[in-house]
Amino acid sequence: MSETSVSAEPRGDRIAKYLARAGVASRRDAERMIAEGKVKLNNAVVTHPATFVTPGDLVTIGGLLVEEPDRTRLWRYHKPEGLVTTHRDPEGRATVFDKLRHQLPRVISIGRLDLTSEGLLLLTNDGALARVLEMPSTGWIRRYRVRVHGDVDPKALAALANGVTVDGVRYAPIDAGLDAKKGENAWMTVSLREGRNREIRRVMAHLGLEVSRLIRIAYGPFQLGTLPRGGIEEVPTRVLREQLPKEPAPGAKPPRGLRRS
């Protein structure tokens, strides 16, 4: 082919979705790479995101062949603090993906944990699965154990169930309960559905509390359990299939190899 084109009756995946399902990058990052002219289909630069990949096509990025998507796989990882959840860190800090590159194929994270947060991080080789499980409409609860410093007001915690606005940002309802208190330090369990960037830290600061430790213990049906710090364990395909949302969000493509009958 001398140039890429959009078929009148397209088959296969749009190229950004294909790259996401191959675990190369998120669909947004894939679209950025396409715009930068880094992606080729059958040796021709892809110029339009509505280009489709069909069986037998060759897709390359920077001259490297993109392997056809494998079956969908999911891993539980006990992220320690001190790692950032990004493929490229402009500050040169250690990343989750650098740490695991010799243990796993190319993967992306489902949601993120910041540098000083720890606990359960889900990793997958399928961008479509990541997109589905990150969406608030999926309804999966993220649960955390949080240690704070300061004077905890149980009424203020209970009021979070109605949602809260912090610095002009409206956060959805949060379930926060006090578990133990010793002096000016306290442990609580916090559950939320959206998981915006640094949401718990910002909301707690709004209540006059400083978060000194934040551990994610569950993401939807998947638990941290006894997985040791730095440990990684693949979720069996049968278990993953059973836990997928029965009704995918409108327009969401089912993860490869995990379509429900």
Q: Which residues lie below 8 Å from residue 244, measured CB to CB, with a gap of 6+?
A: 132, 254, 255, 258, 260
For residue 199, give the H/E element and its range: helix 199-206
On whether the CB atoms of residues 219 and 120 are closer than 8 A, the answer is yes
The two tokens of residue 234 are: 């693949």
Between the alpha carbon of residue 243 and those of residues 74, 75, 130, 236, 247, the distances in Å are: 12, 14, 14, 11, 11
On whether the CB atoms of residues 258 and 69 are closer than 8 A, the answer is no
Cβ count near 158 (within 10 Å):
13
On whether the CB atoms of residues 187 and 146 are closer than 8 A, the answer is yes
Angle at 87 between CA 115 and CA 199, to 5 degrees: 40
Residue 209: closest CA among 150, 154, 167: 150
Between the alpha carbon of residue 257 and those of residues 107, 129, 166, the distances in Å are: 17, 11, 42
Catalytic residue among 70, 89, 98, 114: 114
The two tokens of residue 92 are: 């040169």
Burial of residue 40 (number of CB atoms within 10 Å: 0-12, 13-18, 19+):
middle
Annotated active-site residue 29? The verdict is no
Q: Which residues are catalytic?
A: 114
